[in-house]
Structure 1
Amino acid sequence: MPGIYIHSLLGSENDQKGVEATGRYRSINREKLSIEQLEQEIQLEGSLREQIFNGLMKRIEKRKSEKALHPNAEQKVLFLDDRLFAIARTYEKTSEKLVAIINTSGENIEVPMTALKDELEAGSLKDTIGEVVYGAEEATLQLDPYQAMWLKDNGT
């Protein structure tokens, strides 16, 4: 099970004062949290902590609902572009398929729809993270810098 660092989950920013106080660079990510303040910030609509925490919680719920992301699903690495990390996952019990593509660069990247034809039906595709549907007539998928997509055949 992948771990999520608590300060990443909670949207903590760098603790520069902690570095200055201790003289240790590791203190940058050792912010001391007050549970009361943390609860207020997570509940404050539009706050950085609320956006990050709730965004990650929604992503975790989506991940749990995707059979192809089950730990026992088959996995194959796809070589689409050096700046992309891409895997095709298939859950054998239901034959559900999903292609995860992560743009690891600070650049916009286009992925030809034909590059996914061996993994997905390559008709209409749905990005289950962004809830965006890409029609069969579209030639490419556009990934923004550091964007992730979980693509499935639309309708599955």
Structure 2
Amino acid sequence: MPPAQFGNAYLNFLSTHDGIGMRPLEGILPKSELNKFIKVLKKSGAFLTHRISQNKKTVYEVNVTLIDAFKETYSGKDNLVLKRFILAHQILFSMEGIPAVYIQNLVGSKNDLKKLETTKSFRSVNRRNWDFDELSKLLKKKSINSKIYLSLINLVKLRKKQPAFHPNATQFTLQLEKNIFGIWRQSIDRSQSIFCVSNLSRQKTKISLLDINLISTEKWYDILSKKRITEIEGNITLLPYQSMWITNKKF
């Protein structure tokens, strides 16, 4: 995507109170791939809202909470739902622009089927009305909700410290191995670089740091795992759905 003019910014988000919009995928994903994707989302508990244009019925949006949307994969269910959910936000937070997180995503809400029964509106599954005291207690317990909340809050805090994540900082897409998504961000004053690499698969995957081209005169760190990268010409192994933010400056 072209960079936004300085002083303007993209607003990036994964889902909203309406669910997950499908229209942005039109013309990008082949129809067969889009249908396969929607089929997996339906298995995860999603409901479909359609529109009719030129006598054609197409899926306009998928109504589901984000955590439930990650329950199924093309290969079936597994125990990596939380890892996929966090990875999606790590990618969201790394991209050019300003990230926005819907409240139901922040607290890990699941589909509100009781509200759906009452309203008969598919959009209701992602519009839970939380009681403040109930939610506060839940977020203090050991629960998937508290894990999600603390993980995302910590990511926000970490992101805010990085000049390379300024909304108008440079972004380039990296050409890496299959199932690896990567971007390079550079601060406006060019003092900080962050290479954001993410494993989109359930398999361990090795990548060569030569493909990222880290400068040998700098020290490099993965600020997500808080580990030093010592062999800049070697390989790194990404665990299933793991992301790394590799930078030359720690803040």
TM-score (normalizing by structure 1): 0.83
Q: Which amino acid aligns with 1:73?
A: A
Q: 1:126 aligns with which of 221, 224, 229?
A: 221
Matched, 1:42 2:42: no
Structure 2 residue 169 is the aligned partner of structure 1 residue 73: yes
For residues 13-46 of structure 1, the C-alpha deviation after alignment (integer angstroms, 9 at most, x for no partner) is: 22233344544443332222111101111222x2
Q: 1:97 aligns with which of 193, 208, 227?
A: 193
Question: Secondary structure of 2:99's partner?
Answer: coil
The answer for the alignment partner of 1:13 in structure 2 is 110
**1:53-72 CA deviation, whole Å, 9 max, x = no partner?**
11111100100101111112
| % identical equivalent positions | 29
CA distance in 2, matches of 1:144, 1:30: 33
Contact 2:223 2:250 in 1 (8 A): no
Which runs of 5 or more residues in structure 1 are unaligned?
A: none
Letter in 2 for 1:9: L
Q: Is the 8 A contact 2:192 2:248 kept in 1?
A: no
Unaligned runs of 5+ in 2: 1-97
**Residue pair 1:86, 1:99 contacting (<8 A) in 2 also:** yes
2:179/2:201 contact within 8 Å kept: yes
Q: Please name the residue that 1:147 is paired with.
A: 242
Tell whether 2:86 aligns with 1:86. Answer: no
- Given that 1:42 and 1:49 are in contact with CA atoms closer than 8 Å, whether structure 2 keeps it comes out as yes
Aligned-pair CA distance for 1:89:
1.1
Alignment: residue pair count: 153
Partners of 1:78 and 1:134 in 2: how far apart?
19
